[in-house]
A and B are shown apart, each in its own frame.
Chain A
Amino acid sequence: MSELVFFAICFIVLALCLLYRLIIGPSIADRAITADSIDILSDMALILFALYSGRSVFIDIAFITALLGFIGSVVVARYLEGKL
């Protein structure tokens, strides 16, 4: 059972590596994509923790995070296109 937590830690470490790109990213689009990817990776960690603890509340939280990340990315894209 405990290997699920280990896998979740792997995902969190990958998300922390992406923070480097978020800081140095030369343009807005870089930062938007990187934020989206960090969102997805932390969602995966949440799902694995939900499987470990057997409580589906964490999956709900992951779903809401995914929804907000999607809306945020689309709003950033509209802003870049100059239509906001």
Chain B
Amino acid sequence: MRIIVDILILCSIFFAFAGVVGMLRMPDVFCRMQSSTNIATLGVLGVILGGFLFSLVYLHDVAMALKLLMMGVFYIITNPITGHAICRGAYKHGIRPDNEMECDKYGEDLEVEE
């Protein structure tokens, strides 16, 4: 049982590490945002699930386990809102990537509207 908890937390650390490396290496703002989603999904869920099992089996504390689950639900609900809001805000503020994007349908349609 202990090994399962450790493996879950180690998976979470691996994905958080990949996300951090991505955030330091990616070329522009929007790509960095994709890597930050990587931290906030599996980087969080591994710790939450591992902590849930640990507090049920070793600490015998059901209230703590439920609190951890609610925290996971909270992260899952709020993270896409943050990502979407910052992404659109950055685009509307005029931040563009340095090198040319493959295609940019959003910018074309915004120009047509104006």
Contacts and interface: CB of A to CB of B under 8 A. Distances in A.
Direct contact of A and B (CB under 8 A): yes
Interface residues of B, number: 44
Q: Which 6 A-B pairs have the closest CB atoms?
A: A80-B89, A77-B85, A29-B90, A77-B89, A81-B89, A56-B64
A29 B75 CA distance: 20
Nearest to B25: A21
A11 B13 contact: yes
Contacts of B68: 47, 59
Contact of B81 (A3, A67, A74, A82): A74
A22 B80 CA distance: 21
Interface in B32-65: 32-33, 36, 39-40, 43-44, 47-48, 51, 54-55, 59, 61, 63-64
Interface in B62-101: 63-64, 67-68, 71, 74-75, 78, 81-82, 85-86, 88-90, 92-93, 95
B101 to A, nearest CB: 16
B85 A3 contact: no
B interface majority secondary structure: helix
A33 B86 contact: yes
For A14, A32, A37, A47, which residue has the most chain B Cβ atoms within 10 angstroms? A37
Contact of A78 (B24, B43, B85): B85
Nearest to B59: A54
Interface string B1-34: 0000010011011001101100110000100110
B25 to A, nearest CB: 10
A44 B47 contact: yes
A7 B89 contact: no
